[in-house]
Structure 1
Amino acid sequence: MTERHLRAVLAEAERVAEQYDQIAQTTNSPTHEYLRYAVLRLLEGDANAIPEEVPQVDGVTVGYGRDQAMYDSWGSDVEWWDTVPPQDDCTRFRVFYPEDQTPVPRGILTVMAALRAWRVWEGNAATCGSYDHRERREVHFLWPEGNLAEALLENRIQEIGSAVAPDGGQAGDVRDRMLVSDGSTSADDLEPRTKRAVEEAMTVSLLAKGGRYEVEAASGNRYEVDIIGQSCTCSDWQQRAPDGGCKHMRRVDHEIKQGQVPRPDGQLPPQV
């Protein structure tokens, strides 16, 4: 790895922070989220400008989630944790690429090395959670929160926090911002159960492409919502399956519509 590779990742993360800061609204580590999306955009060829120093990989796709959350969902079904047990406060990147490209394409290794992530698993993608990646391979990397790249990015975007938000908080603290789409609905106009779900203290993040989200309640409990398959791991949904969904499903649906979290296909919300 050279410093120019890291600069390429930081530059794309800075663009994400400036143009799509709503993706980190519900996270405790905004810079970590910006960098995760920088990796996704660079490897999938969606970056505003692809730097020459980042070799491109045809047919690559990227998924990611908290390592512990993935383990809680698939720990008994896959072999990923046989060598390295689930890690707290770590992102697991799952990078898929064509089966005929061996060894792991250099572009993937270059970008992940720039983040100082470490490789922990490699194999056929026909495993749990990879139904749409049959006949492909995947390689996994672990990357901790609070890393050097986050500190470097924070220095680059510190000017974003200079303006004072209407609620008295800092505009740069994305948790204090409510960025909504043109067609958004006021909380006062929502159905009562949805209104309560929106007003309750919860955080929502995309767990995996395909519509799987993680909801963390104020109690610290975490639930997995499949917004496409219409399911939730909470006891309310498991026992009653209430009409319109449990409060976690309602909250995820609302935040997707408001553009506060990535869409089920993993794409960023429209720029506001």
Structure 2
Amino acid sequence: MATTETTTKIDVEEAGPDKRTVAALTEVMTVLDSIGRARDALGLFLVNSSSGSEYLVDTSQGTCECPWQQYNPRQECKHRKRVAFATGERPIPEWIGADALDDQFGMHVDGEPRRAVADGSAAQARVDDGSVTDPAEDPFAVHSEDEPRTKRAQRESIDVAFLEQPGVYEVHSASDSRYEVDVLEETCTCPDTADRCKHLRRVDIEIREGLVPRPDGKLPDA
């Protein structure tokens, strides 16, 4: 297949000789770098697949717990490839079309996916449509200079609801977890040990944009 062609979900099975690369780009997987066994561990990532399997990838050692990797230790499994693409360590190749990428691409890691461009360099890619970053004027636009947790707060599926005065909100995350955020105390019940987790940042965005009541419980236009 010529590199000038674009791979879509229809012809993805014919996308070059390395089907593990295609699988790493198109299969439903979630890469996590700040939870469970990967929490506060440099180079460790958890990869959850659509089948419910979970594997630990160690990028510093070049290993993965998956059975395929155990039987093929000198090659790179699709989970290791997915981590490399999701974190921006390796640019997404030109031949993979934006509509073929998994919708979860890079949503739960601090890195930023990059897409290879025609001149051989790489540019940051929007997770939602796979295009080169050119944020629209909207509160959830991701900018290249944003901090990793701010990027997560902007692009992840997070529901925010005012809970009680003064300034307590309930946050329902994409993983179906629920946390309480106190914007006045700047605290969150999530396990993230950072000063300002993504949930706090998301609540701040929605208050600023008038999407939820202010800390005093009043509506934005009150």
Say whether the fold is shared (TM-score over 0.5): no
Return the TM-score normalized by structure 2. Answer: 0.35
TM-score (norm 1): 0.29
